[in-house]
Structure 1
Amino acid sequence: MALHTWLAFLLACWVISLSPGAGAIASMSAGLRHGFWHGYWNAIGLQLGLALQIAIVAAGVGALLATSQLAFAVIKWFGVLYLVYLAIRQWKAAPMDFSNAPAPGGGASASSLVFRGFLVSSSNPKAVVFMLAVLPQFINPSEPLLAQYLIIGATMVTVDLIVMAGYTGLAAKVLRLLRTPRQQRLTNRIFSGLFMGAAALLATVRQAIS
């Protein structure tokens, strides 16, 4: 991959990753609830989902998703239902007791946070179709494809890890300011609304089949 092509792709990665979406909401929710270091496991799961999406596009399966109404609908509605589940769970989350917990991090295992992030990322068919439309613009068919997709995948994952660290850390800082149960309930309901908003947006996604 030529340097100027990679730099253009790097810029596109920053724009895409910084755009608020379900992944950013999940990262902020994890940071708020579990602190930065424990909550960051959610971002690891997001990257596993992103890596899967890149592999799907690289393998050509993304073309099937882009043209199959059934495959698109199944993955889309799974994603919608999972975001609604996260919204309900966030709404019902009990306020944390800071008096006996000087450092946040309890309540969810690292593996459960990784799995949650993976589901949020991998259950968005719009992302696969988007990558199917964008990634080929940065691929040179006359050069080895595997090496190019590995560079693309490493670049996207690295940028997204940095951005999600920012979202997680920002929310973790807010955590220190939320001491009363009323403040925490209000924040949980705000994030619940954000998850519901993300679900509603995903539900409006329509498949463009040529």
Structure 2
Amino acid sequence: MEIWTLLLFIPACFALNMAPGPNNLLALNNARRYGFRIALLAGFGRLAAFCVMIALAASGLAVVLYTSEILFLAIKICGALYLLWMAYNLWRSDVSPVSDDVRNLSITGLMKQEFALAAGNPKAILIFTAFLPQFVDVAKNVTEQFSLLGATFLVLEIVAIAMYAVIGLYLRQWFSKPKLVKRFNRACASFLALSGGNLLLSRQ
């Protein structure tokens, strides 16, 4: 792969990594509740989902999935319902001190949340079936190029998780009062619900 191609890919890809979305919102909220390290570890759940998508895209199976309207619709509906379920739980959640959140912490559970959000988002499939292939030269080894682009995407995704986690740490200082925390939770729940509704109504 030409170096200039990679230099074009990195900023365009990072813009996608940093775009506000359910997973990045989850990283922000996890950092606010549990700290930077936990939010970063939980983020590896979404990386696992993206690894699967990259492997599927490299083998061509993701294109088959994308062109299959029934499978694509099923993923979209499941992803939207999961977003709405998370929004409902977050809206009704009790406000508890950070110390209580840490005692009730389940890293595995947080990683599963990240994985489910990423895997249930059909727009993520489009990144690997429509965006990444634009930077692949079919005259050269496609698998190697896709592997490099996929690895670069994952590294940039880790950076994005870390940046949102840092923002979450600052929010922890601002939302020290239970009333403010409840408002923040409901704002996040509203965003998740809107994302779920938008996913259900979207044609792609």
For the aligned pair, the TM-score class normalised by the smaller chain equals over 0.9
- Of residues 182, 185, 196, the one that matches 1:188 is 185
Structure 2 counterpart of 1:59, one-letter code? S
Q: Distance in 2 between matches of 1:93 and 1:104?
A: 12
Task: Return 5+ residue gaps in structure 2 as ranges.
Answer: none
Q: Distance in 2 between matches of 1:178 and 1:133?
A: 40
Contact 1:75/1:124, CA 8 A, preserved across alignment: yes
Q: TM-score, normalised by structure 2?
A: 0.92
Q: Say if 2:99 is the partner of 1:111.
A: no
**What whole-Å deviation, never above 9, does each CA across 1:5-39 have from its counterpart, x for those lacking one?**
11111111111112111221121121222221112
Contact 1:75/1:123, CA 8 A, preserved across alignment: yes
Q: Distance in 1 between matches of 2:4 and 2:37?
A: 35
Q: Which residue of 2 aligns with 1:81?
A: 81
Structure 2 counterpart of 1:64, one-letter code? V
Q: Which residue of 2 aligns with 1:58?
A: 58
Task: Return 5+ residue gaps in structure 1 as ranges.
Answer: none
Structure 1 counterpart of 2:27, one-letter code? S
Q: Which residue of 1 aligns with 2:142?
A: 145
Q: TM-score, normalised by structure 1?
A: 0.90
- Of residues 117, 120, 138, the one that matches 1:123 is 120
Q: Distance in 1 between matches of 2:85 and 2:141?
A: 42
Q: CA shift at 1:146, angstroms?
A: 2.2
Comparing 198-207 with 158-167, greater Cα deviation is found at 198-207
Secondary structure of the equivalent of 1:176?
helix
Q: Which residue of 1 aligns with 2:36?
A: 36
**What whole-Å deviation, never above 9, does each CA across 1:39-91 have from its counterpart, x for those lacking one?**
22231112111222111211211111221110011000110011111111211
Q: Which residue of 1 aligns with 2:196?
A: 199
Q: CA shift at 1:104, angstroms?
A: 6.3
| Pair 1:138–1:60, CA change in 2 (3 A) | same
- Of residues 158, 161, 164, the one that matches 1:161 is 158
* Identity across matched positions, percent: 25
> Whose helix fraction is larger, Structure 1's or Structure 2's?
2
**What whole-Å deviation, never above 9, does each CA across 1:76-110 have from its counterpart, x for those lacking one?**
01100111111112112221225xx3x96343311
**What whole-Å deviation, never above 9, does each CA across 1:103-146 have from its counterpart, x for those lacking one?**
96343311111111111111111221242112221112222222
**Within-5 A mapping of 1:1-16:** 1-16=1-16
**What whole-Å deviation, never above 9, does each CA across 1:145-189 have from its counterpart, x for those lacking one?**
222122111100111111111111201221122222211111111
